[in-house]
Amino acid sequence: MLSFDTDQDLTQNYKFLIGAVLPRPIAVVSTKNENGTDNLAPFSFFNVFSAKPMIVGFAPIRKPNSGEKKDTLINIEREKEFVINFVTEENADLINLCSTEIPHGDSEFTFAGLDPIPSETIKAARLKQSPIHFECKLKDIVSYGDWPGAGALITGEVTKVHIDEKIYDNGRIITDAWKPLGRGAGNDWFKTDSIIEKTRLTKAQIQK
């Protein structure tokens, strides 16, 4: 097998992470800019950590050239809240546009032609074109450095969930109707239209 040490090259580490850890879920995070406009950016270093309290987390990394913080992190440090919206086959191209580095304080909603709608428990806006919204209050920020490529793990408690009734039936989200996408390496994205099912053994089944 080939091996490498991880203290050498940011690009090598980054490429390995995004090639090995996939498909990744995508959080489309909306925050309030200091000037009152609405910021929106996708993050695939994203997952869930607790059901009750309901805790989710994602990680913006420092910009690879300058080591600067991304706007989402700056906004959450100041406002202590954010919304997680989700990617569907329908909104994916516009969400992808929101990953463009536009001037600080400009809104990616306006840039991509997406619509902000008010949240109920926080000031950050929800994305109208997303069928699921998590309104989140900041729990922790764990910073792993202030140099290019260093991440900051942001966790939040979901205070309110919204779901489009078109993709919800009897307490279950219908994946086929939702059509979520995942993230791969480079510019790859995953569709979720090829699902396999595996039942798990119960405790009773393994008892002799």
Ligand X SMILES: Cc1cc2nc3c(=O)[nH]c(=O)nc-3n(C[C@H](O)[C@H](O)[C@H](O)COP(=O)(O)O)c2cc1C
From the list 165, 144, 146, 166, the residue with the least C-alpha distance to 154 is 144
- Of the pair 27, 158, the CB lying nearest ligand X is at 27
By CB under 6 A, residue 13 contacts ligand X: no
Q: Are 35 and 105 in contact (CB under 8 A)?
A: yes
Q: Which of 126, 133, 179, 183 is in the footprint of ligand X by CB under 6 A?
A: 183
Q: Which of 30, 39, 107, 155 is in the footprint of ligand X by CB under 6 A?
A: 39
| 55, two tokens | 């805790």
* Stretch binding ligand X (CB under 6 A), from 9-17, 37-45, 118-126, 137-145: 37-45
By CB under 6 A, residue 70 contacts ligand X: yes
- Of the pair 43, 178, the CB lying nearest ligand X is at 43
Residue 151 C-beta: closest distance to ligand X, Å: 7
List the beta bridge partners of residue 41.
Answer: 29
